[in-house]
Amino acid sequence: MTTSDPLAPFQWLNMSETEGGGPLGVIFSVAFFHGLDPTGVIRRFSQGEDSGEQSDFSGLSQRAFEFVDVTRGGDGGGYVGAFQAGEWCVAIEPCGWWVTDHQLVAGLSRGCEVVAVTRHDYAAEHSFEYAIDGTIVNGYRLRHPHERYGSDPDRLKSFMLDLGMGLDRPQDDAVWDVAWENNYNTAVPRGFALAAKVTGVPFTPDMLDRPMLVGPITRS
């Protein structure tokens, strides 16, 4: 069955914790790299110290779970899994948010292009970052598309409008309330729909079945 709803393919990423949270849970990040292969992505995350090991999503999740257990969750999931998807490389960061950290994503994008989306229910800071060669071009908190930043905050404006995002700052409380209500439950699917528009790679459930390289996230 087909649908004209551009958010429908990404609702699996928006399941609430009471609904089970979906296979990735309620804290995770996904990044798309253009100009790096999986080995290059793992080496970038590990600051050149690791080239990754062949694994699958189950293996990635287990490593992240063990890392969270030891660190009590304050440092994210500690690992990333990467695989090729057409011209882009997809990187999954379970239980983590570092790929949308301003400083880290700028470094990750040196010599390449990165589009990244984070869902973080506990911090309520779902976020989107688009960086090219060390510069954040466009970023925003997913529930606040009117608060864009970066070297070219309107670079993705047409895509965002296509997805029904309100890009003008609300001028009064009533408009603010409507904008918040519109964005609250759709923020995560809209963020992943925007990433798909930029990259041409929709993040779909079957991608979790692919073999991947898994390696650590090293932060200085």
The answer to whether residue 218 is domain-embedded is: no
Q: Which string of DSSP letters, residue by residue, matches 109-123?
A: TTTSEEEEEEEETTT
Q: What is the mean pLDDT of the chain?
A: 93
Q: How many helices (H) and strands (E) does the chain have?
A: 6, 8
Q: How many separate domains does the chain show?
A: 1
Beta bridge partners of 53: 214
* 1 in a structural domain: no
If we measure between CA atoms, which residue out of 49, 211, 194, 187 comes closest to residue 130? Answer: 194
Q: Is the pLDDT of residue 1 over 50?
A: no
Q: Is residue 136 a contact partner of residue 114, using CB atoms and an 8 Å limit? A: no
| Tens-place pLDDT, residues 119-158 | 999 876 899 999 999 999 999 999 999 999 999 999 999 9
Asked if the structure places residue 32 within a domain, the reply is: yes
> Is position 4 within any domain?
no
- Classify residue 87: in a domain, yes or no: yes
pTM of the model: 0.94
Residue 136 confidence (pLDDT): 98
In a domain, 2, yes or no: no
Domain boundaries, position 92: 10-211
| CB-side neighbour CA atoms (13 Å) of 154 | 2
**Taking a C-beta distance cutoff of 8 angstroms, is the pair 123, 134 a contact?**
no
CA separation for the pair 216, 43 (Å, rounded): 9
